[in-house]
Amino acid sequence: MDILYDCWLAYGKDGSMKWTEKYLRKLCILCSGRVIGSAAKELETAYRRLAGKDPERISEPFSGGCFILRINEGLCAGGYRISVSDDSIVVEGGDENGVLYGVFRFLVLASGGYSPESLNITEKPFFSLRMIDQWDNADGSVERGYSGASIFYEKDRPVSDMKRLTDYARLLSSVGINAICINNVNVHKTETYFITEKFLPDIAKIADAFSDYGIKLYLSVNFAAPMEIDGLPTADPLDEGVINWWKCRAENIYIHIPDFGGFLVKADSENRPGPYSYGRDHAEGANMLAAALKPFGGNVIWRCFVYNCHVDWRDRHTDRAMAAYSNFKPLDGKFADNVYLQIKNGPMDFQIREAVSPLFGAMSDTNCLCEFQITQEYTGQQIDLCYLVPMWKECLDFDTYHSGKGSLVSRNVLGAAGVSNVGSDLCWTGDPLAGANLYGYGRLVFDPGLSAEQIAEEWVRAAVTADNEAAGTICRMLLSSREIYESYTSPLGVGWMVTPHYHYGVDVDGYEYSPWGTYHYSDRNGMGADRTKATGTGYTAQYASHNEEMYEDLSTCPEELLLFFHHLPYTYMLKSGKTLIQHIYDSHFEGSEKAEELLLQWRSLKEKLPAEIYSEAENRFEKQLLNSRQWRDVINTYFFRKSGIDDIHGRKIFR
């Protein structure tokens, strides 16, 4: 056992599961199948860890303590019920996946020291599609990866050793993930060939490993693949040759991978090819692929992250935030029923604070998914602590008002996709505490009704420590971390201000004169992006009228999004009674102080924590403190130099 590698599957790490031995020693498996096999194997693993020997397989329940698995057709797909009694522990699932999820749930909570009584649980998945997207490249790199190299590829080949991937499948299925796309949405030259004979046998082995855990495999495809692979003269989705080409590809893929999930497509975005190149729209592009997959039950996941990345910064009317809605809203109802539009939580790009995408709820006749970024690209890169579940929950709980009050995002989408934060690091996620985001993503999309607090507590107890006091401290650290990170980085929803390309660390003007459409428009008088209908880009009109009015009006616009929607003078008075500039100074001084508190809180736990986790994270808290101070001083100096307004508290702002 390695506490870093095992993550939240570190059964018996601190004696808290002792009581389960009585049940785990006799396994009574009353159902069968490959996924059931994995569930049984997991129980065996747990028992071996606890007792140092194999459990006994029995064919009928034993009243002196046993662990029973069975299918209960009264439960829905993926649903399960755990029943704990003196005699036995019974895990019933609506299907094989349900049984597996129930087993994991039991083991994780028990390992976290939760009481036997509290483990009588019945749950069912809220979303049918619960997906993970790997941004892994065939060369072994991971785009926006902060946890080492890819665990899927090295040297332009899929890996051949399935051990690590099997353990990854365990981690993912333990929180209910049932789909994974194993290559980067930016499909480069080598990956374009993943759908050919050159790679399919190897990819089928990976698919097989994930299928054992009820996870379907998807591939990102290159829309121009017919031209690149076979030299077709076009990739026009309405061209007969192209249509047939994809049909043949699909048939062939399903020969290798009978339960293949389908394609993920980033088209016409950031210089990727797509239907626009041929005068076709995204529905025509997606539906062509969907038709090829349809006979085999496959899906097309089509990303809505489509915008012009060659904007002229001089043009203050073009607004990148409007792009997804502008591109896709006119196509509502035109997509085939096995197409899912994957919509990022916000309209920009995974910033620490953005408005919720106006596309949610606006596509009532289209299957939609919500895309979250588990990997912390703009949110601390697994150096700075940033527990993202509260942010994702805000998105899922956001009321779009598109069908009247109560039109929550969670009711407007059929599932979610999360960009993985995993790599070859021993602890999987660079910062071991970033494991909370991977765990949390899975749990939240299984049940969006869960609180961020509950998820944090489950994870901390299973993955770090079941010690009540220490776990409580770490939970509080996690739960405050997003606001801390936000407070010392870009203010009030304006976003960016990061080092170009790297996206870690401060560079206020880094993207200000770039073609990326990401501007804060700070001058000597004020700052912010005016997205109002009245005087700005008109972005607010993409929301249902209730929200449009809320954002349009300064008095009702949520203050944390003030600079996302409005351009305001530094002297603008916030509800707190502070001016905007004073808020910037205050939040940056305080944010950096709180980053220091995180480090001190962590250090206070040293004796109570596994040494490996302690030191990996301590090292990162130290870096976070330096990062927060650089952000604080650069932001404060930058805005002092522009505004000329002093901090009313006279703290040190460098000239």
What is the set of active-site residues?
Answer: 270, 349, 377
314 binds a second copy (CB under 8 A): yes
576 binds a second copy (CB under 8 A): no
d(CA 441, CA 432): 15
Task: Kindly indicate which of the ranges 58-66, 226-234, 320-328, 517-525 contains the residues binding a second copy, using the contact rule CB under 8 A.
Answer: 517-525
644 binds a second copy (CB under 8 A): yes
Our CB check for a second copy shows the closer of 369 and 508 to be 508
509 binds a second copy (CB under 8 A): yes
Owner of token pair 């992006």: 529
Confirm if 340 and 368 have CB atoms less than 8 A apart. yes
Which one among 2, 641, 646, 651 touches a second copy, defined by CB under 8 A? 641
Confirm if 100 and 43 have CB atoms less than 8 A apart. no
Our CB check for a second copy shows the closer of 594 and 632 to be 632
Which one among 469, 523, 560, 646 touches a second copy, defined by CB under 8 A? 523
Residue 594 CA, distance from chain mean position: 25
654 binds a second copy (CB under 8 A): yes
647 binds a second copy (CB under 8 A): no
490 binds a second copy (CB under 8 A): no
53 backbone φψ class: left, alpha, beta (φ>0; ψ -120 to 50): beta
Task: Kindly indicate which of the ranges 218-226, 282-290, 519-527, 579-587 contains the residues binding a second copy, using the contact rule CB under 8 A.
Answer: 519-527
525 binds a second copy (CB under 8 A): yes
- Counting residues that bind a second copy (by CB under 8 A) gives 26
Our CB check for a second copy shows the closer of 439 and 519 to be 519
Least distance (Å) between residue 311 CB and a second copy: 13
Region 316-335 residues binding a second copy, contact defined as CB under 8 A: 316
517 binds a second copy (CB under 8 A): no
Residues in the chain: 655
Least distance (Å) between residue 301 CB and a second copy: 35
Token pair listed for 395: 């998105």
518 binds a second copy (CB under 8 A): no
- Tell me which long-range contacts 580-585 makes (C-beta under 8 A, separation of at least 24): 580/492, 580/526, 580/527, 581/639, 581/643, 581/645, 582/647, 582/648, 583/491, 583/492, 584/491, 584/635, 584/636, 584/639, 585/636, 585/639, 585/647, 585/649, 585/651, 585/653
Our CB check for a second copy shows the closer of 333 and 644 to be 644
> Please, is 76 exposed, middle or buried when counting C-beta atoms within 10 Å of its C-beta (0-12, 13-18, 19+)?
middle
Region 268-287 residues binding a second copy, contact defined as CB under 8 A: none
Which one among 300, 438, 506, 568 touches a second copy, defined by CB under 8 A? 506
608 binds a second copy (CB under 8 A): no
Determine phi and psi for 499, rounding to 5 degrees.
-60, 125
DSSP 341-380: EEEESSSSSS-SS-PPPTTTTT-TTS-EEEEEE-S-TTTT
622 binds a second copy (CB under 8 A): no
Greatest Cα pair distance in the chain: 79
Which one among 27, 508, 568, 584 touches a second copy, defined by CB under 8 A? 508
Q: Within 13 Å of residue 40, how many CA atoms lie on the same side as its CB?
A: 21
Least distance (Å) between residue 655 CB and a second copy: 7
Owner of token pair 């002196």: 64
Token pair listed for 119: 């483990």
Our CB check for a second copy shows the closer of 146 and 638 to be 638
Interface residues toward a second copy, by CB under 8 A: 313-314, 316, 506-510, 513, 521-525, 630, 633-634, 637-638, 640-644, 654-655
